[in-house]
Amino acid sequence: MRNTQRRVRGLVAAVLAVTAIAVPAISALPASAAVELSFWSWRTEDKAFYESMAAKFTAANPGITIKFTPYLNTDYNAILSTALTAGKGPDLLQLRAYGAGAGLSDAGYLLPLTTKDVPALAKIPAGIVTGARGFENRSVFGLPYAVSALGVMYNPKLLAKAGVRQLPTTWSSFLGVLNRVKGKGILPLGNGGGNGPALEQLWGAIGPTFYGGTDFYDDVVAGTKTFTDKNFVASLKAMKDISAYMPAGYEGLTYDAARALFANEKAAFYIGGNYEIGYFKSLNKDLQLGWIPAPAAKQGAKKYVSSWADGGYAINAKTAHKAEALKFLNFMASKTFGQALLDQLAFISTTPRTVVKDSAVKAINKGIQQFGTPYLMLVGFRYKTPTGSAILQSGFQNLIVGKTTPEQLAKDVQAGIASWYKPQTGKS
């Protein structure tokens, strides 16, 4: 994978630099005739946000309107790929980072972006921009908009009701708290198993302390360890252990239904990303929540917070409205947009000098700085098929219902990734 894995090690340092740099002024683009730009996303829950920001843009740029169309999370990649392959698709698109966008870029479907096109790109740290580069052509295909992280969110009122006075710091103490909450008649964990990506997200939070976080990542890259390592197997076993605290019928519980349980204060904990917070509060504006890093595997073990450059805004290479699309892209690179993204959706914006106000988001930002590690499969092993994510996502659904074992799933992951990934032995 060339030096992709090596470059992502700069992600944490890059995050620290984001709030300390300035965005250069953007030159005005020439006015054009009335144009409607189509903009696609998988974030159905963010429709109101994007429509409000589109209205702000149009108010400042009469004659350019934005039609925002979100698709179901699970369907988006296929819909987008089909449209682009047919020479169609939207003018602008929201793209998942790393492998999801790299393949489209390498195939020539996305407009390569330069710092002349988008001056703000020059001020975004290289470790973050890596998430928006092609795999083969290495061109920048998108404007990275956020850094995200995974951890454990909790409802302080429900924990107080259950008599929990101390937040867990180790896996055993976490399971003990979940047991205590369950014993008080409160649902311990709002996560469900009906959606493979949601299960991978859960594992992405709790897994690193078992398999060894960044050290394990580097060892796999170097070829000194594989995914059959006993510690990686232990991370998969933890998924089976924690499923006992999910809701009744969790095997088929959808992503949105699971999130609603936590948002509506029916569950004490939810394991997920910071990008859930805005959605939670859209369902329940009075929701109080806290955030902690996933507990350590045992006393004295390191904690880790999986983090990554979370997506980019890109332009269809075949757009008939390149100038107008670039103008909107530069608007999304502005402090106005970045601060709104942070305030309303709890995305940790890549826009310099944005200010984190929410207490939970502050905790997450601190967690990235203290415990940040690459989100394993997304950052390193989602560039070719079968992706590590695809294997894990289907495997987790089988694991939690007893149709496979942690050991077998580890073998499946290793065999699948080894079919295309070659370790970077001797490379810097």
Concatenating the DSSP letter of every residue in 43-62 gives -GGGHHHHHHHHHHHHHHST
Provide the token pair at 225.
């360890």
- Domain of 85 in residue numbering reads as 20-145+310-354
Say whether pLDDT at 30 is over 80. no
Specify whether 318 is located in the same domain as 392. no
Residue 170 belongs to some domain of the structure: yes
**pLDDT of 3 over the 70 cut:** no
- 424, part of any domain: no
Helices 388-399 and 196-206: angle between axes, nearest 10 degrees: 90
SS3 358: coil
DSSP string spanning 234-284?
HHHHHHHHHGGGSPTTGGG--HHHHHHHHHTT-EEEEEEEGGGHHHHHHH-
The answer to whether the CB of 98 falls within 8 A of the CB of 316 is no
Mark whether 347 and 393 lie in a shared domain.
no
Instruction: Give the 3-state DSSP-derived string for 92-151, with helices as H, strands as E and coil as C.
Output: EEEECCCHHHHHHHHCCCECCCCCCCCHHHHHCCHHHHHHHECCCCCCECCEECEEEEEE
- Residue 14 covered by a domain: no
Q: Return the DSSP state at 39.
A: E
Q: How many domains does the chain have?
A: 2
| Residue 76 falls inside a structural domain | yes
Cβ partners under 8 Å of residue 339, min gap 6: 349, 351, 354, 355
Q: What is the pLDDT of residues 163-202, one digit of tens each?
A: 999 999 999 999 999 999 999 999 999 999 998 999 999 9
Report yes or no: 313 and 5 within 8 Å, Cβ to Cβ.
no
The whole-angstrom separation of Cα 323 and Cα 329 is: 10
pLDDT of 425? 64
- 191 plus 275 within the same structural domain: yes
Q: Both 98 and 210 in a single domain?
A: no
Banded model confidence at residue 39, pLDDT cuts 50, 70, 90:
very high
Residue 160: CB atoms within 10 Å:
10
Instruction: Tell how far CA 416 is from the center of its chain.
Output: 23
Look up the CATH number of the domain holding residue 188: 3.40.190.10
Q: Which range is least confidently modeled, 5-9, 219-223, 356-360, 397-401?
A: 5-9
Do 130 and 246 sit in the same domain of this protein? Answer: no
> Would 367 be classed as within a structural domain?
no
Question: In this prediction, what percent of the chain has a pLDDT beyond 90?
Answer: 86
Asked if the structure places residue 232 within a domain, the reply is yes
What SS3 state is found at 377? Answer: helix
Measure the CA–CA gap between 191 and 6, rounded to whole angstroms: 33
Give the model's pLDDT for residue 139: 93
Cβ within 8 Å of residue 418, ≥6 positions away = 226
Distance (Å, whole) CA 218 – CA 399: 26
Is residue 189 a part of any domain in this protein? yes
CA 334 centroid distance within chain: 21
Pick from 11-25, 209-223, 306-320: least confident: 11-25
CA separation for the pair 108, 84 (Å, rounded): 10
Residue 166 buriedness (CB in 10 A; 0-12 / 13-18 / 19+): exposed
Together in a domain, 172 and 153 = yes
Residue 27 has pLDDT above 60, yes or no: no
Strand partners, 149: 307
Q: Are residues 216 and 245 in the same domain?
A: yes
Same domain, yes or no, for 278 and 325? Answer: no
Instruction: Identify whether residues 250 and 160 lie together within a single domain.
Output: yes
Pair 174, 160 in one domain: yes
153 contacts 354 by C-beta, under 8 angstroms: no
Q: Does residue 319 share a domain with residue 185?
A: no
Does residue 266 share a domain with residue 160?
yes
Q: How confident is the model at residue 240 (pLDDT cuts 50, 70, 90)?
A: very high
Sequence-separated (6 or more) residues with CB below 8 Å from residue 214: 9, 304, 373, 374
Cα separation of 413 and 215, whole Å?
A: 18
Task: Assess if residue 297 is contained within a domain.
Answer: yes
